Amino acid sequence: MELMWSRPELIISSSPMSMYNIIYIIERTQADPRYPGISTTQLKGWVTDTRYEVALTGHCSQVRYRVMAINQFGSSGFSNPVYAPSLSPGPVQNIHLTGKGIYYYEDKNNTAFSEFMTVLKWDNPVGWDDRDIDHYEWNQMMNRSCEYISHDSLPILKKMINQSNHILMTISSVSIGCKFLAQVRAVSKCNTKGPWANLLVDLTNCSSINGYMCQDKPFDPPGKVGNVTLSVTSKTEDEVMNYLLYPNLKLTSPLHVFLHVHWRPPLDLGSHGYVDHYIVRSGKAERQLFPIPPEFIGMPASKKAPNDTVEMIFEVETYSIPYTFGVQVIAVGPSQTITDNQWGLFPMHTMEVSRNDSAIMHFMKEGQVLLDQAGIVIIYVKNTMPVHFVFDDSPMGRVGNTTVDRFAMQWGPLVGPEGNRTITVENGTVIARVTYLSDEAEEESREDFYVFTLPEGGQ
């Protein structure tokens, strides 16, 4: 260590320097570590320079120094004291796991109490002896990361008896697949702390753990598919496929009702990292009061699709009265099995569908379908002046919660009885209103509105 100071001011600054030659006396006082309150003072010598090098007797020497300036006229006494600084230890060296690393100790009576154990060992910081180190400390709240959050646990660290540079680390067996960052640092006898030294304790490689038998990883299935859309198209399957390949193709001849289901693959591909296949379940469904999800009526149909599929088209069973049709699209992982009580975990997507009545098929063959929705089919026949209304004469049944005995249809410009509702035609766009009527006095009528567009030049 080097002591440094400034020259004192001269009593007569204009006098020749030779008259005021100065020497400096260095005083050293050190506390006796064996007897508190007792110290030893020594005069280390004299110098003419304003600096002096001294050897430290330890990293926490607790030594005090004072300097006195003397010339031929005497001295003004010692300076204020300074103390040797307390040095901080460096990082511990060669931190490692002893023996073969990590060991598994199984509790035969209760495997939940089984544990992983390992011993951490290290060497002193460079330049520090055991007599300079008061103790070592470790971070009890160490950083850790786990493949599954349910496997996270906090290890227990204990000092080993008569081993100052060893600690025993105990980890719950549920933490297989986790990584732990153990940290150790030295604390000097003057209570200065060194930096943390890190060691990664890795439980992700089960084969490297002594006495542990590797098991299959917990299965994490793929997540839910996204952006599921349903649309009903009254076209043949070949026509629909051509339309998907050539979107500009115009379809004019509705022959059957097909359901087009489209979806986006799940963002979460599960623990295996890919989807094995999709299951598409469909059938009649019943909507429930919120928040109860809709349910299938009876056993739904089920189709399996390859893992690169994002859409499916299949024929829908139709009736004269609209009904609720439900679809579930499920991403299935490798070796995943879905039990009967798990189908409710997947969302159901619903829509209202109905059939094209055979009584109007002769119009469909010659005309252009402008609207086919919820039992309402509107056909445009070129060069035909009359407007044809064709009604199904089968029993009406129910629409939603309304008993339907008959219905009426209006389209084009319409003004309500109080002028508060207007249905207008603009640029070939027509709005049609269908009113479902019931003979039961307590039930109110239901109105549905449909929009379609006339062909260019059509009337």
The pLDDT-based confidence of 292 (bands split at 50, 70, 90) is confident
pLDDT tens, residue by residue, 109-136:
777 788 999 999 999 999 888 888 889 9
Instruction: Return d(Cα 374, Cα 350) in angstroms, integer.
Output: 13
The 3-state DSSP class for residue 242 equals helix
Overall average pLDDT of the 433-440 stretch? 61
Domains and CATH numbers, the chain: 2-83 (2.60.40), 93-208 (2.60.40), 226-353 (2.60.40.10), 358-453 (no CATH)
Give residues with Cβ within 8 angstroms of 154, minimum separation 6: 140, 141, 144
Record the pTM. Answer: 0.42
Buried b (16+ CB within 10 A) or exposed e, 40-56: eeeeeeeeeeeebeeee
Nearest Cα residue to 295 out of 232, 350, 338? 350
pLDDT tens, residue by residue, 182-217:
999 999 888 889 999 999 999 988 888 998 888 766
Q: If you average pLDDT over every residue of the chain, what do you get?
A: 75
Instruction: Return d(Cα 244, Cα 247) in angstroms, integer.
Output: 6
**pLDDT winner (highest mean) among 34-38, 133-137, 218-222:** 133-137
